Amino acid sequence: MLRFKKIFKQVFALLLIVTILPISSFLIGCNSSTGSGDGLSFFFTIKDTDDYFRSTLQSSLESAAKSEGATVTTTLCGPSADQQVSDIKAAAESGNYDAIICVPVDSATALQLEIAAGDLPVIFMNNKPDDDVLKADEYVYVASDEYQAGELQAEYMYEQLGKPSSINAIIMMGERNHSGTLGRTEAVKQYFKDNNVDLNIVFCDYASWSDTEAANMMEIFFKTNQDVDVIFCNNDTMALGVIEALDNHGLTTSDVPVAGVDATSDGCKSIAAGKLNFTVYQNAEGQSTKAIEVAIALANGSSTKNIEGKNDASTCYFVDFEAVSKSNVSKYQ
C-alpha cells in the first residue's frame, strides 16, 4: 500500500510538471515577444537639443532605455548631414552598439546613414525618410503621422471660423524639406480642398521652428496690407512668435486665431492664458518608448509584428497626435 502511494505521488508530480511547463513557457513568451533590453546599447544621433521637443525626445529615450535595462549614448552632430553620417559610421565600427536611433539632419541622406550603420538596424525618428529606403525589421521609422497634425489644425479652425466658404491664411513652416514641415503644411491645404473651401494663402515661408524668425516674417507680412483670417504654424514656438507680433500691432488671437503643434509647456501656458487658440500634442515620451521597444526587438532579431501602431508594410510605427484647446489643456500641463 505504501509503495502504491509513493508511485501515485511520483506520477502526480510528473503530470503537474508536464501541465505547468507549457503554461510557464507561454507566459514567458508573451512577456518577451521583443526580447530583453538587458545589456543592450543604442547610439542616438540628433542635430541638437535646443528646442523643447528635441530635448524631451533625448531625455525620454534615455529614460525609456534605462527602464528596460538598456543604455543610450547621445551624440549631437550639429547641422551637418556629413557629420551625422561620419558619427554613425564610427559608432557602427566601434562594435559597442546594438542599434542606431537617428533623427536625420536631412531625410534625403537616409540611404547614406543606413550604409554607414553597416549591419546595425536603424530606427529613424521625427524626420521621415522616403518609403523606398525603409525596410521592415531593418530600417524603420518611429514618430507621429505629420499629416494628422495638419488635419487637426485645419479641422479645428474650420469649425471655429464657422465653416466659411473661403479663408485667408498664413502658414509659418518649419525647416525646409523636414517631413514635419511637408506633412503638416500639405494636410492643412488638403483639408480645405476636400471641404470645398477656397484657401487663399496670403503669406507662407520657412521660419525654421523659430519664434524670432516667425515674428520677423509677420513684420514682413504686415507691410503687404493684406487681410488674414487665421494663422497655421508648424510648431508652437513659431506660433508664440506670431502672437508676439500680433500683439505689437494691437491684434489678439480673438482677431486672428493661431494654431501650433507640439503642446509644449509654453504653448499650453499660452492656451490657458487665452492667447494661443489651439495646438496638437506630439507625444515625445510615447515616441521614445515606442522607439526603444522597436530597437530592442530589432537588436534581438525578434519580430515586431505585435508592436502597436505599425503600418501595413511594418516600416513605420506611429504614435497618435492629440488635439489641445482651452477645454482640455489642463490635461497636458
Q: Which of 32-41, 68-77, 155-164 shows the lowest per-residue confidence on average (mean pLDDT)?
A: 32-41
**pLDDT at site 34:** 63
Please give the pLDDT value at position 33.
56
Q: What is the pTM of this model?
A: 0.82
Q: Helix, strand or coil for residue 64?
A: helix
Question: Is the CB of residue 261 less than 8 Å from the CB of residue 236?
Answer: yes
Q: What is the pLDDT of residues 213-230, one digit of tens each?
A: 999 999 999 999 999 999
3-state DSSP: the chain helix, strand, coil percent, rounded to 5?
A: 45, 20, 35
Domains of the chain: 41-144+283-319 (3.40.50.2300), 147-281 (3.40.50.2300)
Rounded to 10°, the helix 211-222/236-248 angle is 40
Q: Is the pLDDT of residue 26 over 90?
A: no
- Distance from C-alpha of 241 to C-alpha of 285, rounded to nearest angstrom: 25
Range 269-290 average pLDDT = 97
Q: Are 262 and 235 contacting, i.e. CB atoms less than 8 angstroms apart?
A: yes
Query: Is the pLDDT reported for residue 314 higher than 50?
Result: yes
- Taking only the tens place, the pLDDT of each residue in 125-153 is 999 999 999 999 999 999 999 999 999 99
Position 305 scores a pLDDT of 81
Q: What is the pLDDT of residue 236?
A: 97
List Cβ neighbours of 169 (8 Å cut-off, separation of 6 or more).
188, 199, 200, 201, 202, 228, 229, 230, 231, 232
Distance linking the first and last C-alpha atoms of the chain: 73
Q: What is the pLDDT of residue 11?
A: 38
